[in-house]
């Protein structure tokens, strides 16, 4: 289906660099995988299984040289909502459905279309997700007890408020230690895997100084199995497919967006180009296979991909080595994970939430006070207080309406008046400066003729024709496209003009709009002889078919010529000058 040249020309030296990069990013991926799984409402081992399987499949079948896939923070609100509403088993089915949707997107080459989602929408929902992730970790940071997981943000906040009296001071100490490690260790020891250290040191402190005082992975989930999961086929029914397709679509869209954004970031850091549709295929295949082994939905992870590149990765082998390293770590050291305090997970996710919030971009768009600001705030609020399945479609709808409104304002209809009359030159006694030819009307059309501007085009053109000319010249060089609605309005206007014994001449029309008129039949209605590549030729033709003797202005001239266009050698200059002024 796709030709893959990512593994060509790999040397032994390159493999060594990939091995080092794979181990480095694997050290980062282990704590993140467990933390994201816990925040999504499932056991931590499922995050590790996802890291292993999805990372391996995307590395082999994806479209980027450096992509590292696994569970990410962006999925947490969606996955938690599915688990709370339907359960873990249905989460696996939703992940499989999302994988199928991603493969269909790759087959129909939607990879490039996903990148057209407006920045105001992406920042809106990522900032909203950041708020949800951050608020969801307050429970573990404070060590609150008997907190029930809630689907909606306001319910979560109320639940935390009601259980605030159960604050555990030991959990707060552990969480603060972990937070200080995350903040200060990279400043003094940049090569140290800070996230792993932020788990190990609090675990040691908790084990020796506060035994039994704080909740751990072992006390909350019974530890992590020291084995690879067996194959399990979820129970799929038609009813489940009916009510899970919507959250699955949200997973697929979000996964597609994040994976392609991650691939674009990797391209910018390395100069290599990813293949978007192949990347969607790899992500889709990973999400189909991973649920069979208990894994949760996965996508390309920007932070881990960047770490992979900074660690010296050369090829997709680094992603393969990462998965192998995480698997070996699971098989060798899983029992030690049971001593990791949940309070040490909280600052990791809080920092992840802070980094993904893009608060600077959020503030800069907000300050613009434009329609983009409205889209941003709406998407953000809906993400926080409702869910992503509602926020993203409505955000896209608002962005589309805003775009249509702006682009419709680009359309202009400019009346072309010969300059010797527009500026008062060549006027006889009693003639008006704002003279317009009563027999020939000429206009330059600027902008796309589409559904958002079609009505305004027709009404503007109708109101601009003050008299009833016999010839109408439409210069359409600047019309980039004509859609069905634009064609219908143009057709209605043209047919009405022709019905009143008028002649329509179209000049300098581009190839694509011309093909549209041919397919619709309007080309034949106007007549092939009435289309011109040059405006001058159209004016010459208009003069030939115009009865000057019936013109109230020109019939009084002794030579019987056209007062407006009597100097034919200046016609092109006149038209171009007026068109330039209009542009």
In the prediction, which pLDDT does 428 show?
46
Pairing of β 503-507 and β 412-415: unpaired
Inter-residue contact 214 to 206 (CB < 8 Å): yes
Confidence of residue 429 (pLDDT cuts 50, 70, 90): very low
- 111-115, 156-160, 310-314: least confidently modelled range: 111-115
- 273-282, 350-359, 562-571: least confidently modelled range: 562-571
Cα distance from N-terminal residue to C-terminal residue, the chain: 47
Give the pLDDT mean for 45-69: 95
- 1-15, 211-225, 298-312, 505-519: least confidently modelled range: 1-15
- 49-53, 273-277, 291-295, 400-404: least confidently modelled range: 400-404
Using alpha carbons, select from 583, 9, 577, 32 the residue that is nearest to residue 304.
32
Confidence of residue 426 (pLDDT cuts 50, 70, 90): very low
How big is the CA angle at 421 (ends 417 and 427), to the nearest 5 degrees? Answer: 160
Inter-residue contact 293 to 49 (CB < 8 Å): yes
Mean pLDDT of the chain: 86
Output the CA–CA distances (angstroms, integers) from residue 482 to 198, 458, 498, 515, in the order listed.
59, 13, 21, 10
Output the CA–CA distances (angstroms, integers) from residue 14 to 19, 99, 265, 373, in the order listed.
9, 31, 22, 46
Cα–chain center distance at 319: 25
For residue 115, pLDDT over 70 is answered with no
Inter-residue contact 292 to 231 (CB < 8 Å): yes
In the prediction, which pLDDT does 425 show?
42
Confidence of residue 277 (pLDDT cuts 50, 70, 90): very high
pLDDT-above-90 percentage for the chain: 54
Give the pLDDT mean for 188-192: 88
Paired strand residues for 463 = none
Using alpha carbons, select from 390, 387, 386, 384 the residue that is nearest to residue 135.
384
Inter-residue contact 391 to 382 (CB < 8 Å): yes
Inter-residue contact 298 to 1 (CB < 8 Å): no
Interatomic CA distance for residues 175 and 163, integer angstroms: 18
In the prediction, which pLDDT does 193 show?
86
In the prediction, which pLDDT does 560 show?
52
Inter-residue contact 436 to 467 (CB < 8 Å): yes
Report residue 449 as tokens: 């003729």
In the prediction, which pLDDT does 580 show?
52
Inter-residue contact 259 to 278 (CB < 8 Å): no
**Tokens 């903040």, located at residue:** 183
Inter-residue contact 279 to 64 (CB < 8 Å): yes
Domains located in the chain, CATH noted: 12-401 (no CATH), 412-582 (3.30.750.24)
Element (DSSP H or E) covering residue 174: helix 169-188
Output the CA–CA distances (angstroms, integers) from residue 35 to 55, 60, 188, 306, in the order listed.
17, 25, 25, 19
In the prediction, which pLDDT does 466 show?
63
Using alpha carbons, select from 160, 124, 163, 141 the residue that is nearest to residue 384.
124
Element (DSSP H or E) covering residue 507: strand 503-507
Interatomic CA distance for residues 418 and 542, integer angstroms: 15
- 259-268, 428-437, 457-466, 548-557: least confidently modelled range: 428-437
Interatomic CA distance for residues 537 and 232, integer angstroms: 75
For residue 427, pLDDT over 50 is answered with no
For residue 527, pLDDT over 90 is answered with yes
């Amino acid at each position: 289906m796709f030709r893959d040249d990512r593994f060509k020309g790999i040397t032994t030296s390159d493999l060594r660099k990939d091995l080092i990069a794979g181990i480095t990013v694997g050290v980062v991926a282990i704590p993140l995988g467990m933390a994201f799984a816990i925040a999504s409402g499932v056991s931590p081992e499922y995050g590790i299984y996802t890291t292993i399987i999805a990372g391996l499949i995307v590395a082999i079948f994806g479209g980027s040289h450096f992509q590292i896939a696994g569970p990410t923070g962006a999925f947490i609100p969606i996955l938690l909502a599915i688990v709370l509403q339907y359960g873990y088993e249905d989460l696996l089915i939703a992940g499989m459905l999302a994988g199928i949707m991603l493969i269909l997107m790759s087959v129909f080459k939607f990879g490039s279309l996903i990148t057209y989602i407006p920045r105001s929408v992406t920042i809106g929902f990522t900032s909203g997700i950041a708020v949800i992730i951050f608020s969801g970790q307050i429970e573990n940071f404070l060590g609150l007890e008997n907190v029930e997981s809630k689907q909606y943000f306001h319910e979560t906040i109320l639940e935390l408020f009601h259980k605030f009296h159960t604050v555990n001071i030991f959990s707060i100490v552990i969480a603060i230690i972990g937070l200080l490690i995350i903040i200060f260790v990279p400043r003094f020891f940049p090569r140290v895997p800070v996230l792993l250290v932020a788990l190990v040191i609090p675990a040691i402190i908790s084990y020796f100084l506060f035994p039994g005082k704080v909740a751990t992975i072992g006390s909350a989930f019974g530890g992590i199995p020291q084995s690879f999961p067996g194959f399990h086929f979820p129970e799929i029914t038609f009813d489940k497919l009916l009510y899970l397709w919507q959250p699955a679509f949200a997973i697929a869209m979000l996964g597609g967006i994040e994976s392609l954004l991650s691939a674009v970031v990797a391209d910018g850091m390395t100069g290599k180009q990813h293949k978007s549709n192949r990347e969607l295929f790899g992500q889709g295949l990973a999400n189909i296979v991973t649920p069979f082994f208990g894994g949760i939905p996965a996508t390309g992870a920007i932070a881990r991909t960047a770490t992979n590149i900074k660690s010296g990765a050369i090829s997709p082998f680094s992603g393969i080595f990462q998965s192998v390293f995480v698997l070996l770590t699971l098989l060798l050291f899983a029992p030690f994970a049971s001593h990791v305090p949940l309070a040490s997970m909280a600052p990791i996710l809080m920092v992840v939430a802070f980094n993904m919030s893009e608060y600077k971009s959020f503030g800069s768009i907000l300050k613009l006070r434009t329609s983009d600001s409205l889209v941003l705030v709406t998407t953000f609020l809906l993400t926080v207080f409702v869910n992503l399945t509602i926020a993203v479609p409505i955000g896209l709808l608002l962005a589309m309406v805003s775009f249509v409104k702006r682009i419709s304002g680009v359309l202009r209809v400019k009346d072309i008046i010969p300059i010797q009359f527009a500026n008062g030159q060549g006027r006889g006694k009693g003639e008006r400066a704002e003279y317009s030819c009563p027999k020939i009307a000429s206009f330059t059309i600027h902008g796309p003729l589409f559904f958002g501007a079609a009505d305004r085009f027709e009404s503007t053109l109708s109101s601009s024709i003050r008299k009833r000319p016999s010839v109408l010249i439409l210069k359409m060089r600047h019309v980039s496209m004509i859609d069905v609605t634009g064609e219908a309005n143009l057709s209605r206007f043209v047919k009405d003009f022709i019905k009143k014994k008028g002649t329509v001449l179209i000049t300098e029309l581009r190839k694509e709009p011309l093909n549209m008129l041919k397919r619709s039949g309007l080309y034949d209605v106007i007549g092939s002889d009435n289309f011109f590549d040059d405006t001058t030729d159209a004016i010459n033709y208009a003069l030939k078919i115009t009865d000057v003797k019936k013109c109230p202005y020109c019939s009084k001239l002794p030579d019987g010529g056209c007062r407006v266009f009597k100097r034919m050698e200046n016609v092109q200059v006149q038209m171009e000058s007026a068109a330039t002024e209009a542009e």
